[in-house]
Structure formats: C-alpha cells, structure tokens
Copies of this chain bind each other. A is one copy, B any other.
Amino acid sequence: MSTRTGSRHSRDDVVRTAVRLFAERGFHGTSMRDLGDALGLLGSSLYAHIGSKSELLVEITREGAELFQSLADKVLASELGPEQRLAELVAGHVGIITDHLDLATTLFNETRHLPEPERSEVVALRDRYQDAFRQVLADGVAVGVFRPGLDSRLSATLVLSLLNALDRWYRPDGGATPAEVAEELTRFVLAGVAA
C-alpha cells in the first residue's frame, strides 16, 4: 500500500522487508519474487540493491546477533552485582526481542540456513552471549546470592530457553507490555536460581 509513483526503494527497505518475510515464512519459504512483490517490484530488480539472497540472511542474522552481544558487553562492563546483572540481562534481552521481533525470529530460526563461514560466526557469537549468562550465574553462586551447587552452564541454557521462546508468543498487541513481560520473566528466572 505504499505510494508507488516515483518511489524508489533503498537497500534498507529491501532488508527490512526481507526480515519480515523470513520471519513469517522462513528463508527457504520466501522467494526473491515474494520479496519483490512485497516491495512492489520484480524479483530480478532486487539485484540492483543486493548481491544475493543469502547475503540478505547473513546481514540480518549478524545484525541480530550483534544486538545481543552489545547488551552482554554493556552489562559485563557495569559495576552491578550478579543479581542486578542477571536482571539487566533479562530486561535487555526482552527489550531486544520486543523491539525487533522479526529480527529475533529470523536469527533464532534461520541461522542454520546460513552459508559457511557465516553460520559458524553467528553460532560463535551466540555461544559468547550464552557464556555471559553463565559467568554471571557462576559469580552469583560464588558470592552466595544464587543457589549453592547450581550448574551455571545448564542454568544459563534454561534461562536462555525461557528468554528466547519469547519470540514465539509475544505479540505487541497482546495482553502484556514489554515491561510487564520483563518483570514476570525476571521473577521466574530469579526464583529458578535463587539461593
């Protein structure tokens, strides 16, 4: 429904529309003609803006992975204690997903369809991110605010399981605001690891 007359699209328009379609139908479920249709041009015309279909996926997943990585860097550089750090990670994570729902969905579901070496790079970023959670949990155990004997690796996996599933059920027009969701998730997570 965008104005057609005289409207040329930017490369960014193409990327943003690709994020939406990849999230809705999957990478292999979206053809370049689908993407062109959504923008009001031919599939072949997309190649004036991009080099290839997989380039789009690379760009999208990398951008998503970097959002999470920036959050971890910020929290780890802070002066907060383990409990506050965990709460900041949870709230920040929820914020990224609620603000960039299609980006997160595409990152979580389509990373496996990335070509190498980009797939391995995104997986490595994800592992680094998960390790930030593991570190914060281990620190909390060490200073006694989290349960003694807690398996920090497994617990990081469980916390991220909870957080990453958000893209599967959170909808902006749903009952809860992002802040309410973050609060509820924080409560659940802290209960799960509390001393």
Contact = CB atoms under 8 A, between A and B. Distances in A.
Interface of A: 25-26, 28-29, 109, 112-113, 151, 154-155, 157-158, 160-162, 164-166, 168-169, 176, 184-185, 188, 191-192, 194
7 contacts: A26-B112, A151-B184, A158-B185, A161-B162, A161-B165, A188-B192, A191-B191
Given A29-B113, A191-B194, A192-B192, A162 B168 contact: no
Contact of A184 (B113, B154, B165, B191): B154
Lowest 3 A-B CB distances belong to which pairs? A161-B165, A28-B28, A188-B192
Contacts of A194: 191
A32 to B, nearest CB: 14
Contacts of A29: 28, 113
Nearest to A169: B157
A89 B188 CA distance: 19
Contacts of A168: 161
Contact of A188 (B113, B158, B166, B184): B158
Nearest to A187: B192
A7 to B, nearest CB: 31
Nearest to A163: B161
Given A25-B112, A160-B165, 17 more contacts: A26-B28, A26-B112, A29-B113, A109-B109, A151-B184, A154-B176, A158-B184, A158-B185, A158-B188, A161-B161, A161-B166, A161-B169, A162-B165, A188-B192, A191-B191, A191-B192, A192-B192
